Every structure is written in C-alpha cells, then in structure tokens.
Amino acid sequence: MVASVVINQYAPTARINLAALRHNFNQVRLHAPASRVYSVIKANAYGHDLETVAAVLAANKTDGFAVARLDEALRLRHAGIAQPILVLEGANDGEDVTVAYQHHLTLVVHQTEQFDLIEHSTTPSHYAPLNVWLKVDTGMHRLGLATAQVPELLDRLNRHRDRACLCGLLTHLANADDPDDPLTARQCADLTALSVNAARDLSHPLPLCIGNSAGILRHPAARTNWVRPGIMLYGGSPLLNETAAQWQLQPVMTLTARLIARHELKRGDAVGYGGEFHCPEDMPVGVVAIGYGDGYPRHAPTGTPVLINNQRVQLIGRVSMDMITIDLRQQPNAKIGDSVVLWGAGLPVEEVAGWVGSSNYELLTRLAPRVQLNYDSSSAVNN
Ligand SMILES: Cc1ncc(COP(=O)(O)O)c(C=O)c1O
C-alpha cells in the first residue's frame, strides 16, 4: 500500500524566504565586489535545502558552490547544477578521485596523501585535469598543509598538469568572528606571502581563497580572488556581538509551529517533565507543537523568547520531544491554532542561540527532517 502524503497544518514549518536569500547574496557582492563567490551550501544549505538554495543562487549568478563532502556535490550535479563545485574536505580514496573526475568537481587538497591519490589515479586519461585548491593551515590547525609543504606540492602539481590544474591557495579563518583578534590579519598575510613566493617560480601570483562571512564583512584582506560565504547567505550574523540586521542581512528561515492547547493553571502548579517551572500565580499556559524531535534545542531554558501573534512571550519548563510550553500571561487571548515563531523574522536566531549556549549555525543545521519546508519567493523582506 502506498502511503499518501498528508499536509499537516499543525506540523512545524520552516518558511524559507527566497527573496531574502537573493538579498543576502547581493550583500556578499556589495562587500566583496572584486571577488568570485563560492556559495557555501553544505549541511543541506545550513538546513534550508541544498537543491532549492543552489537553484536560487545559480540563477543569481554565484560563481560556484562549496560543500563539505562528495555526496553533497553529487546531489548538486544530479540536480543539474553546472557551476564549479568545491569539495572542502577533498577526496578520501581513489574512488572519490574517480567520481571527482567524472563529475568535474573541484577538490581541496589539504594533505599530501590526497595528491598521491590524484597522482596514482587511473582515471585521468579520459577526463579534463582536476581543478584543485591547495589548502594551507595558517592557524586553524584543523585541515591544511603546513606552509613548508607547499613548495613541494606546487612542484608536483607542475609535473602533473595533465592530471590536475591548480586553482590557487586556500585557507580557513579561525577567529574572524572576533574583529579584534589579531590572528585573522596574520592568517591573511601568511597566505598572501606564500602566493608571492610561489609567484617568483611561476611568474604569476597564485589566486587566493580566504573570506568566510565574517572575513568578507570585517576583514578587507580576506576579500580575496575567491570568497566562501556561508552563514551570511542565510541571514545569520557571523560576528560576535553584532546583529545580522546591522549588516543589512535578512533572515531566510522563519521556524513556526502552532499552539495546540492552552490551560488556566493555578499558582504553584508544576509544568512539564521534571516539574521545573512552578506557576508563580494563576496563569494561562500554552502548548506549542514543536520540540527537540524537530530540532528545537532541548536545552532552551525557561525565559527563551518565542513570538505569538508577533508578540514576545517566554518558554517555560523543559522542552519535550514534540512540544514546548509557553507563558501566556502577556498574550491571554492567544488561541489554539495561533502561529508561534521560534526564530527568524522578528526573532533573530542568534538571540535564541544565546539563550541555549549554542550558535546560529547549529540551530539552523539541526532542523529535523519532519519539519516542513515552505518556500516563499515573493515575501517582503523584513528583519
Ligand atoms: C572551509 C569553510 N569555508 C567557508 C565556510 C563558511 O563559513 P561561514 O558560514 O562562517 O561564512 C565554512 C563553514 O563552516 C568552512 O568550513
């Protein structure tokens, strides 16, 4: 028997404002007008749906896409995306290299073993050389070649031009979210110096790829030949203590759910698992159909804001798998079926993340598959 799909009006919904996505992409162009842009759409486009976001940004003429893993790149090729696709973690084995040749993917090479795979691959004779970026560790100490390894790899690349074509040097900024941290300037300077040194042998400077969102907004030296914005595309602030609105970024995702019950509780009544919240007086309490099973953070404490009918009220008691409870004293007329905003338009995801001790990145990417995504191309853009 084939199960029929039921649209549940009461299921949590993430409204995805595609006009805001286009607006934010244009903000990238505004801040880095001379850079080419790899739009970072890993982790299901930070929870916004890989294929949909790719289609919108391809139409907006992004120069390429960046994903973490090969399977994400293949999803894009299968969806008909023809732009360059940069695989940030690169190849893990010979099979990955073959797939990269077949689908004309661009690989990061962050360790010499990855270039060994390319050098020993049996695939290349049928295909164009693989585009590769050498990733250099300039201070993040996660992925990347040591500076001293770069000349040898450049030499190997030069000897195997039939197999691989060098795009340039790439690095990732560790602390760019803090505009006062001196590491960012050092990282940019170190990669630039490497490119200048390489230029002496190659007779041309190597293109650089540095800026993430924070780098693009706050660090001119990170606005290199290519940049890699992620969170700012989705309207999230990449900067500590600075809001997205300050940078004219618009939230793309607004997570909503419905009020499914309301009660008049008595002073002293305990609410939810563990009875952590006791009503300080007789009060109306609402139940909203969203919980940690939908990706709403389990650790959101009493006091975390939500919007009901565009007004702020507070979450009370423990978050359950499918429900949260909210204090309706400020909204005594709220009724079953009313829409509740958990984050997005009117309630920045950063603010919720602050209550939870998490980040906008984590909240957006942890949305569960049972949350319905609803796309709206035409919605007015507001903060
Ligand atoms: C290597 C790399 N480049 C770029 C980005 C995009 O960063 P952001 O979302 O802060 O713009 C990420 C995100 O994690 C990344 O890992």
Token pair in block for residue 163 = 């197999």
Reduced to 3 states, what is the DSSP secondary structure of residue 277?
A: strand
- Asked if residue 2 is part of any domain, the answer here is no
* pLDDT tens digits along 226-243: 999 999 999 999 999 999
- 19-43 average pLDDT score: 98
pLDDT at residue 382 greater than cutoff 80: no
What is the average per-residue pLDDT within 339-361? 98
At 246, list the tokens.
């300050």
Whether residue 88 lies inside any domain: the answer is: yes
State the total domains in the chain: 2
For residue 1, tell me if it sits in a domain: no
DSSP-assigned beta bridge partners for residue 66: 40, 86
- Do 173 and 301 lie in one domain? The reply is no
Separation between Cα atoms, residue 18 and residue 360, nearest integer Å: 19
Cβ count within 10 A of residue 201: 10
| Residue in the structure block whose two tokens are 């909204």 | 331
Distance 331 CA to ligand 1 centre (A): 40
Q: Which atom of ligand 1 is nearest to the CA of 135?
A: 1
Q: How far apart are CA 133 and CA 258, in angstroms?
A: 47
Report the separation in Å between the CA atom of 191 and the middle of ligand 1, taken as the mean of its atom positions: 17
In the prediction, which pLDDT does 362 show? Answer: 98
- Residue 202 maps to which CATH number? 3.20.20.10
Residue 7 is assigned to a structural domain of this protein: no
pLDDT of residue 263: 97
User: In 3D, which of 95, 93, 50, 81 has the Cα closest to residue 68?
Assistant: 50
Q: pLDDT tens across 231-277, in order?
A: 999 999 999 999 999 999 999 999 999 999 999 999 999 999 999 99
Same domain for 225 and 264, yes or no, is: no
Distance of alpha carbon 75 from alpha carbon 242, whole angstroms: 34
- Answer whether residue 201 shows pLDDT above 80: no
Q: What is the pLDDT of residue 88?
A: 98
Ligand 1 centroid – CA 301 distance (Å): 29
Q: Which of 24, 28, 35, 40 to mutate to test the pocket of ligand 1 (most atoms within 8 A of CB)?
A: 40
Which range has the worst mean pLDDT, 8-12, 31-35, 131-135, 243-247?
Answer: 8-12
**CB 215 within 8 Å of CB 222:** yes
**Is 13 among the domain residues?**
no
Q: Please check whether residue 34 is in contact with residue 27, taking contact to mean a CB–CB distance below 8 angstroms.
A: no
Q: Which of 1-10, 56-65, 83-92 has the lowest mean pLDDT?
A: 1-10
Could you give the CA distance from residue 370 to residue 373 in angstroms, rounded to a whole number?
9
pLDDT digits (tens, 9 = 90+) for 165-175: 999 999 999 99
Mark which of 200, 235, 270 sits at the end of a domain.
Answer: 235
For ligand 1, atom 8, name the residue with the nearest CA. Answer: 230
Point out the domain boundary residue: 175, 208, 235.
Answer: 235
Per-residue tokens: 248: 């004219």
Instruction: Find out whether 140 is annotated in a ligand binding site.
Output: no
Based on the fold, state whether residues 201 and 270 are members of the same structural domain. Answer: no
Q: Amino acid identity, residue 322?
A: D
Asked whether residue 304 is domain-assigned, the answer is yes
SS (H, E, C) 138-152: CCCCCCCECHHHHHH
Helix or strand or coil: residue 126?
helix
Residues with CB under 6 A from ligand 1: 40, 88, 172, 212-214, 228-232, 238
- Contacts of residue 180, Cβ cutoff 8 Å, sequence gap at least 6: none
> How would you classify the pairing of strands 208-209 and 164-170?
parallel
Domain-embedded: residue 243: no
Distance of CA 265 to the CA centre of its chain: 41
Q: Which of 235, 270, 295 is the last residue of a domain?
A: 235
231 and 257: one domain? no
Residue 293 sits in the same domain as residue 222: no
Distance between Cα 232 and ligand 1 center (Å): 10
Phi, psi of 92 (to 5 degrees): -105, -20
- Specify whether 98 is located in the same domain as 200: yes
Residues 332 and 190 in one domain: no
Q: In this predicted structure, what is the pLDDT of residue 7? A: 67
For range 282-296, the mean pLDDT: 98
Distance from C-alpha of 99 to C-alpha of 155, rounded to nearest angstrom: 25
Task: Mark whether 276 and 180 lie in a shared domain.
Answer: no
pLDDT over 70 (residue 282): yes
Residue 3 DSSP class = P
Handedness of CA 46, 51, 56, 59 (dihedral sign): positive
Together in a domain, 210 and 287: no
How high is the pLDDT of residue 378? 67
- Residues 260, 227: one domain? no
Confidence label for 380 from pLDDT (cuts 50, 70 and 90): very low
Is the distance from CB of 38 to CB of 56 less than 8 angstroms? no
Measured from the Cα of 170, ligand 1's closest atom is 1
* Percent of residues, the chain, with pLDDT higher than 70: 96
CA-216 nearest atom, ligand 1: 11
Distance 28 CA to ligand 1 centre (A): 14
**What pLDDT does residue 202 have?**
72
3 falls within a domain: no
Tokens coding 357: 């001790």
Tell me what the mean pLDDT of segment 45-54 comes to: 98
What is the arithmetic mean of pLDDT over 111-133?
93
Q: Is 142 annotated as a binding residue?
A: yes
* Helix and strand counts by DSSP (H, E) for the chain: 11, 18
The identity of residue 351, as a single letter, is: E
DSSP 6-55: ---TTS-EEEEEHHHHHHHHHHHHHHSTTSEEEEE-HHHHHHT-HHHHHH
Looking up residue 353, the CATH number of its domain turns out to be: 2.40.37.10
Q: Which atom of ligand 1 is nearest to the CA of 231?
A: 9
Q: Are residues 309 and 231 in the same domain?
A: no
pLDDT of residue 196: 87
Taking residues 285-292, report their average pLDDT: 98
Which of 43-57, 69-83, 123-137, 272-286 has the least mean pLDDT? 123-137
For residue 36, the one-letter residue type is R
Q: Same domain for 230 and 97?
A: yes
- Nearest-CA neighbor of 288 among 336, 332, 242? 336
> Hey, which of 86, 143, 172, 252 would you mutate to test ligand 1's pocket, going by the most ligand atoms within 8 Å of its Cβ?
172
DSSP string, 298-335: TTPPTT-EEEETTEEEEEES---SS-EEEE-TT-TT--
Count how many residues are written for the chain: 383
Q: Which domain holds residue 287?
A: 253-376
**CA 360 from centroid of its chain's CA atoms:** 9
**What's the confidence (pLDDT) of residue 381?**
44
Could you list the active site residues? 42, 273
What values do phi and psi take at 175, rounded to 5?
Answer: -130, 25
Token pair for residue 118?
């390319």
Residue owning the nearest CA to atom 6 of ligand 1: 230
